[in-house]
Structure 1
Amino acid sequence: MTVSSSSSLERLSQSRRQPLLVFSGQSNRPLAQAICDNLGVPLGHSKTEKFTNDNLIVHYEQSLREGDVFIVQSFSTPVSDAIMELMLMIDAAKSASAGRVTAVIPYYSYSRSDKKDSPRISIAGRLVADLLEAAGADRILTMTLHAPQVHGFFKVPVDHLSADLVLSEHFRGCVPNAHEGVVLAPDAGSIKRASQIARRLDSGLAMIDKERLSDTEVRPRALIGDVEGKTVFIVDDEISTAGSLVETVNLARGLGARDVYVAVTHGVYTGPAIERIAALDVTQVASTNTVLVSEEKVRASNGKLAVLDVSPLFANAIANIHTGESVSTLFT
């Protein structure tokens, strides 16, 4: 996806607000650098060190006074270190007299813990939101929460970006006659996203109905729609171990799908995910760069992995937040 940043640069140059400062934690510096390249501003200088007792210390190497500070940090492995580092960076920025601090969390992994679906467990999505606010975050910028209600866990403003446009354009670029294909939602929870992408592609829509066997196990029960002889586009919010993906692809293939393309927002790829994808009867599995995907994983996937760039979306959202303009207009 190509998004011109000239208008963003003009707005930034005309703004008389606090200086725009963008910093990055250690989880996804390439994305933070790409965001800064789109904004036309340098990535801020900060340093994070770990003591021998595993404690972290964060140090900013430039003035933040009255600055409009954006800190980019995905909650990817090691997740606990990423969260702790972000909280320390927020707290240090507030202590350094930053005018406003926005936590840019491209991947908010704890959004999967959005309800109490077992006895005596924590709703961790809400707890982490409380911790970020306690650290001093004035605003949150994130993308594709696993459950939309997590948005309501925050008492500070939240800008929730969508990767639907990027995924749709990717499918259209891969398959010229994408409108003749079918967008397949792997479960009922992803039907809304699949429907939006199907409208963008002007394509068909299908959904897999799943049966829950236990708190941790589900299985496909039926497919609602028709995929026989068609190119199938599977969309979801994330891929972790790829177990559900394997079931979805195999079901689509078993019902006569001609080609299968997969695109998700967050490519976490943990455990046996890469081995499963490499052996899967699928043309391509694409994810955005909200989570850093190593070159080793790309090579080990037999060339099936692709990474899509969402830094222009984050750059434009940051520019709009900084200048006080609407973020929702980026998607209309």
Structure 2
Amino acid sequence: MRKCKVFVGNSHPELGQLVCAKLGVEPAPCSMKKFSNGETSVQIGVSVRDEDVYIIQSGSGTVNDHIMELLILVSACRGGSAKKITAVLPQFPYSKQSKMKKHRGAITARMLANLLIMAGADHVISMDLHASQMQGFFSKPVDNLYGGPSLAKWIRENVEDYKDAVVVSKNPGGTKRVTALADALKINFAMIHTDRRRNADIYSQNKSQAQLKQRKQSMSRRRPVLNKNDEDDEEEENIILSNGLQTARIVQGHVVDDDFVPESSAPESVISDTGSIPNDQTSYALGGTYDAADSDEDDEPASVSQEKLITLVGNVKDRSAIILDDMIDRPGSFISAAEHCRLNCGANKVYVVATHGIFIDDCLEELNASPYIDQIVVTNTYPLSEEKKKTEKLVTIDVAPIFAECIRRDHYGESISVLFDSLASL
């Protein structure tokens, strides 16, 4: 491509090399190093005057250093009289901080967007932003690519009987993402809701549910089958029961039976002497503790003894469950969702699928060790160490062709929207 330069940052050089190979260009030379006092230094080794410049820099383990590296590189290209500067961020840093979850908080993703624009970026390309409304943080054009078509292609080719599979959202905030993938695959979807507030009546509720279930089972065993119509009614009743809400308890991050009693807590200890329910969360003036619909279960560390209630809305019995999210950073909610689908809801297999595999600390090791998770599927938008790539259950999908085609179309002034329908064929 003429009049075009592609710079590859230090955050994810492997992905940058793959993108350049697909474009048929060599990465533009630049020197990025640190001074002895920790300051970042960037030196461009080629002229960028009146050229289109693309800078590939994703999120990483040392996110703050690489953000400064990106900002300095953008500013250096602006000072070199570049015609247009495009920041390519496959995984947008600080994307989880796209709203004010607590009082006196900061919307850090908007601040980063302002920094990019002030540094001189004219265009931003990313993939699967944590919240689609983040595009409104920028005063310049933003192209938010989707990893869903690539994930859908892998599901079609590797999941047995994928037409009978069910795409599952592990929290209510991800239902839009899940329904989009389910529509692309033309399969059903389900949703999991984890409630952290009903601690006081969680014991009585589960006990009553267990008693009701036993009563229905005993009645079905006692009732004689007089004719074929009665047999059809019984089968219809079982189908209705299987399509209802499946609820279970989570203690210390794992699904337990209804009659399980934690050693450190008892039903009487849940309610205080005053009759009120103690809450570890900070109470607000108008009531409630957090945005339950959109909150991430793993953002805030819960008490070890705190019990949760997990509910599946949908039917995964004798089917493959595909738990989908935009990123995998902590293992807790994925493991509990997989256990609930396999132990209580009758799923045959469980696939954990996401676009960004961040895997904080020993997240990948815990997911791989879970006997209820069959495979972990992510794309290569986030850098992984060679040791993590050798994980038995991990599958990595290459999305470099998507970014390469987006850069090519943007450089030649072609439509980007065509990509959204044809990504699966790349």
**Do these two structures clear the TM 0.5 threshold for a shared fold by scoring above it?**
yes
Partner of 1:7: none
Secondary structure of the equivalent of 1:234? strand
Secondary structure of the equivalent of 2:377? strand
Partner of 2:122: 138
Relative to structure 1, the CA distance from residue 192 to residue 247 in structure 2 (aligned partners, 3 Å threshold; closer, same or farther) is same
Amino acid at match of 1:290: T
User: Which of 397, 401, 415 matches 1:312?
Assistant: 401
Partner of 1:39: 23
Partner of 1:106: 90
Q: Distance in 1 between matches of 2:119 and 2:146?
A: 26
Partner of 2:321: 232
TM-score, reference length from structure 1: 0.91
Partner of 1:76: 60
User: Which of 411, 423, 426 matches 1:322?
Assistant: 411
Q: Distance in 1 between matches of 2:51 and 2:194?
A: 49
**Alpha-carbon displacement from aligned partner over 1:49-99 (angstroms, at most 9, x marks no partner):** 111111000111111111100000012110101110000000001111111
Q: Distance in 1 between matches of 2:364 and 2:322?
A: 19
Which structure 1 residue ranges, 5 or more long, are not aligned? 1-11, 13-17
Amino acid at match of 2:377: A
User: Which of 365, 369, 375 matches 1:284?
Assistant: 375
The structural deviation recorded for 1:316 is 0.9
The structural deviation recorded for 1:221 is 2.9
Relative to structure 1, the CA distance from residue 277 to residue 49 in structure 2 (aligned partners, 3 Å threshold; closer, same or farther) is same
Amino acid at match of 2:14: P
User: Which of 223, 226, 230 matches 2:312?
Assistant: 223
User: Which of 350, 362, 380 matches 1:272?
Assistant: 362
| Superposition pairs of residues 59-70 of structure 1, within 5 angstroms | 59-70=43-54
Q: Distance in 2 between matches of 1:84 and 1:135?
A: 10
Partner of 1:159: 143
Which structure 2 residue ranges, 5 or more long, are not aligned? 198-280, 282-289, 291-299, 303-307, 422-426
Amino acid at match of 1:268: I
Amino acid at match of 1:313: I
The structural deviation recorded for 1:201 is 1.7
**Alpha-carbon displacement from aligned partner over 1:11-47 (angstroms, at most 9, x marks no partner):** x5xxxxx612111110111111111111111111111
Secondary structure of the equivalent of 1:77? coil
What number of residue pairs does the alignment pair up? 314
Identical columns (%): 37
The structural deviation recorded for 1:298 is 2.6
Relative to structure 1, the CA distance from residue 149 to residue 212 in structure 2 (aligned partners, 3 Å threshold; closer, same or farther) is farther
Amino acid at match of 1:297: K
Partner of 2:389: 298
The structural deviation recorded for 1:220 is 5.2
Q: Distance in 2 between matches of 1:101 and 1:42?
A: 18
Deviates more, 1:175-184 or 1:283-292: 175-184
TM-score, reference length from structure 2: 0.71
Amino acid at match of 2:382: V
Q: Distance in 2 between matches of 1:212 and 1:71?
A: 42
Q: Distance in 2 between matches of 1:325 and 1:50?
A: 38
Partner of 1:257: 347
Partner of 1:21: 5
Relative to structure 1, the CA distance from residue 22 to residue 220 in structure 2 (aligned partners, 3 Å threshold; closer, same or farther) is farther
* Cα pair 1:110 1:125 within 8 Å, conserved: yes
Amino acid at match of 1:180: D
Partner of 1:5: none
The structural deviation recorded for 1:275 is 2.1
The structural deviation recorded for 1:274 is 2.0
Partner of 1:124: 108
Structure number with greater Rg is: 2
* Cα pair 1:220 1:247 within 8 Å, conserved: no
| Superposition pairs of residues 80-99 of structure 1, within 5 angstroms | 80-99=64-83
* Cα pair 1:208 1:220 within 8 Å, conserved: no
The structural deviation recorded for 1:176 is 4.0
The structural deviation recorded for 1:211 is 2.2
Secondary structure of the equivalent of 2:354? strand
Q: Distance in 2 between matches of 1:177 and 1:200?
A: 15
The structural deviation recorded for 1:179 is 0.7
Partner of 2:172: 188
